[in-house]
Amino acid sequence: MVDLDRKNELEIVQIRGDLRLLAQKVEGIKTNDLRHIQKSIDNITRILWGVGFLILGQIIVGIKSLLIGG
């Protein structure tokens, strides 16, 4: 019975250590990786806005040529 209690106690200590390691990894992901992903998404958003404005400009030029003539 004593051996089983000791074994369970050691497993609990190991699980607590694993949980601490997981908490550190999650914190690292939150502080580092998510910032890089957000920066990449922001860059993609800026590019998409730029392309959208270029397309809008071309549509306006097309409508102008249809109304006024080429």
Give residue-wise pLDDT tens across range 7-62: 999 999 999 999 999 999 988 888 888 888 999 999 999 999 999 999 999 999 99
Distance in angstroms (rounded) separating the CA atoms of residues 38 and 46: 12
What's the pTM value of the predicted model, to 2 decimals?
Answer: 0.56
Instruction: Specify the residue for token string 């369970």.
Output: 8
Tell me the C-alpha to C-alpha distance, in Å, between residue 52 and each of 17, 39, 68: 51, 20, 24
Amino acid at position 42, single letter: D
